[in-house]
């Protein structure tokens, strides 16, 4: 994948927005990779959790907003408890999801779920997935 870095991209308001929504200092990350090493869903991700932080530091908005990873995260917070720099990585992924959801770009289309799919799962599953993946 070709990545273009520039002062303009790094200064994109996207970086400040991710920091504001997540409440995290992205520059604290020194890329040790513990978040990715412990992530239970990393095998399904296209950009690994430590790479997400790096991309966010560099303002790579389009790559992050288009990534599969943000919808694979289950907010299990294993990355959060293992980060030696105290960064809440799951909150950073939540912030990126929210930037899309607040533009009504839903990930889960509830109307497309069949009755069987909806009745099979308990209410706790439906409500939590709607809270995480719809606007």
Structure tokens at 24: 């995290």
Q: Which residues contact 33 (CB under 8 A, 6 or more apart)?
A: 48, 50
Asked if residues 44 and 68 have their Cβ atoms less than 8 Å apart, the reply is yes
Q: Determine which residue in the list 5, 81, 85, 135 makes contact with another protein, applying CB under 8 A.
A: 81
Does the protein bind another protein through residue 107 (CB under 8 A)? yes
**Is 67 a residue that touches another protein (CB under 8 A)?**
no
Strand, helix or coil for residue 35: helix
The least distance separating another protein from the CB of residue 97, rounded to whole angstroms, comes to 9
Which of these segments, 27-35, 47-55, 56-64, 121-129, binds another protein (CB under 8 A)? Answer: 121-129
Minimum Å distance from CB 2 to another protein? 29
CA distances, 52 to each of 8, 13, 113, 134 (Å): 19, 17, 30, 21
Kindly determine how many residues on this chain lie close enough to bind another protein according to the rule CB under 8 A.
39
Q: Is 120 in the site for another protein (CB under 8 A)?
A: yes
Tell me the DSSP string of 36-48. HHH-TTGGG-SS-
Q: Which residues bind another protein (CB under 8 A)?
A: 20-23, 40-41, 44, 71-72, 74-78, 80-81, 88, 90-91, 94-95, 98, 107-108, 113, 117, 120-129, 131-133
């Amino acid at each position: 994948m070709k990545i273009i870095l520039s002062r303009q991209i790094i200064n994109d308001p996207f970086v400040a927005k991710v920091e504001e929504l997540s409440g995290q200092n992205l520059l604290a990350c020194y890329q040790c990779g513990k978040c990715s090493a412990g992530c239970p869903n990393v095998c399904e991700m296209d950009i690994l959790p430590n790479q997400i932080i790096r991309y966010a530091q560099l303002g790579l908005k389009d790559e992050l907003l288009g990534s599969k990873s943000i919808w694979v995260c289950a907010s299990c917070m294993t990355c959060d408890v293992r980060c030696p720099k105290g960064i809440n990585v799951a909150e950073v992924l939540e912030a990126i999801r929210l930037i899309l959801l607040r533009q009504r770009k839903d990930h889960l289309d509830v109307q497309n779920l069949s009755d069987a799919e909806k009745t099979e799962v308990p209410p706790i599953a439906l409500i939590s997935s709607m809270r995480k993946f719809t606007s």
